[in-house]
Amino acid sequence: MTRLGHPTTAATIAERFAGVPHRIAWSQLSTELNLQLPTSWIDDLLLECQRRFPGELAPIRGAATAIQTIVERGDQVCVASSTELVSLRENLERTDLLPLLAPHVFSVDQVKRPKPAPDVFLFAASQMGVDPADTIVVEDSVAGVMAGKRAGMRVLGFTGGGHTYGSLASCLAAAGAEHVCDDMNQVVERLSL
């Protein structure tokens, strides 16, 4: 945004667009700001992410242990994300989480509407063979909390990701998260209640 003459911060973008697919976020921004983006803008941005992720992307501290603990208790775990499926699987592989989750990785690519629509969560529940009412979503974005609630699922907010901003916890609670956790140990504790 700054390079395009609209100085902003990563926190500002995260607050507005976390959980929203890149293409939708950039389409909205270009309309609001009357930007004439080059046709390759979003693809170039995604390529830059792919270039940086091998050296910069890291798993959330405690994520692998949390997943293993939940599975050992006999519960199912999956990912239902606004990230495109190929990139999502690559990101999970880079962070050594894919083996803990595969084949239960679901993406906005597989449904009609992105978050805050409930589509990706309802699709994931159907693929996992579970009733949405018996599902708990752990979400780090307002769009995701809204999607989980619209799917009829319980939703926990999570503020331990790299895109956290100052008011995230209150925003997640206002969107309907029943509790907000700031680390994976809290998530595991909440899931056992």
Q: CATH number for the domain including 128?
A: 3.40.50.1000
pLDDT for 160: 94
Backbone angles phi, psi at 162, to 5 degrees: -75, -15
Q: Which domain holds residue 33?
A: 1-193
Q: At a CB cut-off of 8 Å and minimum separation 6, what does 14 contact?
A: 163, 164, 165
Distance in angstroms (rounded) separating the CA atoms of residues 1 and 37: 11
* Mean pLDDT computed over 166-172: 94
Q: 126 or 33: whose pLDDT is higher?
A: 126
Amino acid type, 35:
L
Confidence category of residue 189, pLDDT binned at 50, 70, 90: very high
- The token pair that represents 70 in the structure block: 């939940």
Number of domains in the chain: 1
